[in-house]
Structure 1
Amino acid sequence: MGNNAIKAHLENSQKTGIFQLTGKGLPEVTPFNCCGYSSLPDEIGKLKKLETLLLNGNHLTQLPSTVGQLKALRILSLSGNKFREFPAGLGSLRHLDVLDLSKNHIQAVPAEVAALQAIEINLNQNQISVVSAEVSTCQRLKVLRLEENCLELTSIPVSILTTSQVSLLSVECNLFEVKIMRDLEGYEKYMERFTATKKKFA
């Protein structure tokens, strides 16, 4: 299914109000940005070879459990939707590299996040005031973006600095000045990881 066919498919679904995905001929990259969807059909789980799913700028508040069947998925972008809670069931996506949940209404990062295999999680521009310490146990997590939320300094688990693999923690524009993070336990360890990563890609 080429770009024109995808466009026609989306236009038809907007007219009928019915969005059916059979998975036949869909490419590895499937963009459904700004289409006004408030839900996804369970059939999305049939897209076994799907590697990138872009659902930005819709009205989604949750994902069907069948999303957990997208075993090849590497990038899941849900920016600019209506999520109030961190989506459940993503821990089974063993190849997920990037999860973008920016510009939603999420209020907490729950303990269940520990099951994620993502390298980068973007939670910028939400309403997050609580971050579970379990996020520090994400084995592959290198980049955690939490800019423009409702975090106090005490809301940042020290374990992210001391024992996690996170080498880029973005917390600008929260309820504290970033520079006072320097006084936190483990900040030097975090900076060692940050500097090593920066040199690696310099």
Structure 2
Amino acid sequence: MGNSSSTKAHMETAQKTGTLGLANCGLNKLPDGLDKLKANLRTLDVSGNKLNKPDSFPPCLSQFQMMKTLVMVGCELVELPEGIFSMKKLETLNVSNNKIKSLTSKVGQLKSLKSLNITNNSIQSLPDSLPQCKNLEVIEASYNILQSLPTGLGQLNIQELNANRNRLSDIPAELKNCPRLKILRLEENCLSLNDNLRTILGDSGVSLICLEGNLITQKELDNTEEYKKYMERFTATKKKIF
């Protein structure tokens, strides 16, 4: 199971720093003795390990109440480890480049979550409980097979939603109610210029909406009043930046 001496050294360092980096260590399960770090471990990165077995994650994972950042990129995960949902202070969760097909409703228990990255999985839908994550600011969900977005997203204070390369045929009009949403990436989906999209273009505060690769032509967009309103916001924001 990986280089045990190197893993031990990393864990000894983590006792002092609160940060444990075990990326690409050839692990098939998290190391023994991890429970000794539960009192102060704040950041854990286990990317690039094969953690897809029932015993890959120890029961003590649920006891890491100080955890703020958890990175598990490219670990061949098919589901989120159960212990994650007890991490009350977790702010950043990155499980991109795995084999996850669905997200349990328990995601809504992550009340402190600010950034969720599920890019490049096989997820068909986001749980209806997601709007319970009131502190969520960024959702990265590109390269999945999403067919819809959950109702209730308009209640969140998200600043960026990235859902490029999915199978979305519609998006909820209530996204216009997100007071801080500025970036909405929807490239290469199955969207048409329907009422919901018109509402977001015309009535939201979003200053960057990416729609390339959908069932909409630029000519269609240019001929709508809603798109003209969006372009006014886009131009105003660009002037502030430059």
Q: Larger Rg: 1 or 2?
A: 2
Q: 1:162 aligns with which of 202, 221, 227?
A: 202
Counterpart contact for 2:115–2:137, Cα < 8 Å: yes
Alignment of 1:1-202 (within 5 A): 1=14, 2-5=19-22, 11-12=28-29, 14=51, 16-18=53-55, 19-20=57-58, 21-24=61-64, 27-154=67-194, 157-202=197-242
Q: For residues 72 and 194 of structure 2, what CA distance do their matches in structure 1 show?
A: 38
Q: 1:15 to 1:55 in 2, by over 3 A?
A: closer
Tell me the CA shift for residue 175 of structure 1: 1.9
Query: Alpha-carbon deviations, 1:132-154, whole Å to 9, x = none?
Result: 22222222211111001112233
Counterpart contact for 2:166–2:189, Cα < 8 Å: yes
Q: 1:5 to 1:57 in 2, by over 3 A?
A: closer
2:107 aligned partner, one-letter code: V
Tell me the CA shift for residue 62 of structure 1: 2.4
SS of residue paired to 2:225? coil
Which residue matches 2:38?
A: none
Tell me the CA shift for residue 176 of structure 1: 2.3
Question: Structure 1 stretches of 5 or more lacking a match?
Answer: none
Q: For residues 115 and 193 of structure 2, what CA distance do their matches in structure 1 show?
A: 30
Counterpart contact for 1:130–1:155, Cα < 8 Å: no
- TM-score where L is the length of structure 2: 0.74
Q: For residues 73 and 9 of structure 1, what CA distance do their matches in structure 2 show?
A: 29
- TM-score where L is the length of structure 1: 0.87
Q: For residues 11 and 62 of structure 1, what CA distance do their matches in structure 2 show?
A: 22
Tell me the CA shift for residue 80 of structure 1: 0.7
Q: For residues 126 and 135 of structure 1, what CA distance do their matches in structure 2 show?
A: 18
Query: Alpha-carbon deviations, 1:19-38, whole Å to 9, x = none?
Result: 24224276532111111111
Tell me the CA shift for residue 101 of structure 1: 0.8
Question: Structure 2 stretches of 5 or more lacking a match?
Answer: 1-13, 31-50
Which shifted more, 187-196 or 52-61?
187-196
Identity of aligned residues (%): 38
Give the aligned CA root-mean-square deviation in angstroms: 2.5
Higher relative contact order (CA 8 A, sep 6+): 1
Aligned length: 202
